Amino acid sequence: MTHSTKKSFILGGSIETALSGQYQLSPVAVFQEALKHTIRHFISFTPSIVILLIVQIAIFYIALQLQIGDPLALLSRFLEPDTITSDVLTAIMVANFSYEVISAPIYAGVCLMGMSHAAGLKTKPKHILKGLQFTIPLILATMVGLILQGIAGQLLFVLSLYLSVAFSNAVLLICEKRIAPISALLLSLRAVNKKLMPLLSIYLVIMALFVLATIFYGFPLLFVLPLYFHVKGIVYRNMFGITLKIVATDSDDHPDSGNRSESHSSNTDSNKDSDIFNA
């Protein structure tokens, strides 16, 4: 007969510490740790990054095709700026909005994997599907966030940048803390305001790395993207904390075999939830 003992603990901060700003967030320390996780999990994490890129590019391509026909024709138009009309720009914006919204559950799965690495857990490529169970809340939160960023961008670009950082924790709050979409956006915004300057500096560095990766034909994205997701996981851990569950089992039939412990990341005691972020 097998007996199991379950214990839960929170690694890092908490919602209370996030809202009060009582947590450590050093940009240098965040990037140093993110770099270590990126190197350590590079081989196992890269397939998930590639899958995410393929899904997003496919959605973007299809969205453009539905609006303007052959998306490849845009390449020739960019060589002649005078041929780029407002309709083309609108089509690109709609395609960008479409891929971010539709791929939100897959994006969330990769975020969860980065968060798991920040908690000291290992992941597998199949864990990219862990966000699918939160599809509707994730799509709703992504839509609201993008719409608010778009409106803010019409007024001032800096406001759009601020909102993108302010809402950056919403995805993980929905998946890890089971918070409703609008509440997750507001909670993320309130917590970010407590450490706005360190967070802005972190994400400005990330943006600079993305620009540099683009200059070098996009190949460095295979390193920059894992770094980005690890940064998100570390920031989330320090701000809101990650709930981990330790399950220790022992068997009466094999008393000499000792105890076996397993570590899961979860915020509930149900069997279904305990497998959400398991290594």
pLDDT over 90 for what percent of the chain? Answer: 63
Domain that holds residue 240: 2-275
- For residue 83, what pLDDT is reported? 61
pLDDT of residue 90: 85
Regarding predicted confidence, which is higher, 167 or 265?
167
Work out the average pLDDT over 126-140: 96
pLDDT, greater one: 265 or 62? 62
Average pLDDT over residues 109-136: 96
What mean pLDDT is predicted for residues 270-278?
A: 42
pLDDT of the residue at 260: 39
In this structure, the number of other CB atoms found within 10 A of the CB of residue 233 comes to 24
Confidence of residue 249 (pLDDT cuts 50, 70, 90): low
pLDDT at 94 over 80: yes
User: Taking a C-beta distance cutoff of 8 angstroms, is the pair 175, 168 a contact?
Assistant: no
Would you state the pLDDT for residue 152?
93
> What is the share, in percent, of the chain residues with pLDDT greater than 70?
82
pLDDT at 87 over 80: no
Q: Where are the beta strands (DSSP E) in the chain?
A: 2-11, 242-251, 260-265
Question: What is the tens place of the pLDDT at every residue in 138-168?
Answer: 999 999 999 999 999 988 889 999 999 999 9
What number is the average pLDDT over the span 125-146?
A: 96
Alpha-carbon distance 233 to 117, whole Å? 8
CA dist 258 and 250 (Å) reads 7
pLDDT at residue 268 greater than cutoff 60: no
- pLDDT tens digits, 1-46: 566 667 788 898 999 999 998 888 999 999 999 999 999 999 999 9
User: pTM of the entire structure?
Assistant: 0.85
If one counts the domains in the chain, the total is 1
The H-or-E segment that residue 157 falls in is: helix 157-166
Token pair for residue 239? 């701000």
Look at 81-90, 106-115, 117-126 and tell me which has the smallest mean pLDDT.
81-90
Per-residue CA distances from 52 to 105, 108, 156 (Å): 10, 10, 30
Q: How many residues does the chain have?
A: 279
Please name every residue paired with 166 in a beta bridge, in sequence order, or none if there are none.
none
Among 57-71, 121-135, 175-189, the range scoring the smallest mean pLDDT is 57-71
Better-scored residue on pLDDT, 219 or 199 = 199
What is the widest separation between alpha-carbon atoms in the chain? 79
Q: What is the pLDDT of residue 39?
A: 96
Query: Which of 72-86, 157-171, 234-248 is most confident?
Result: 157-171
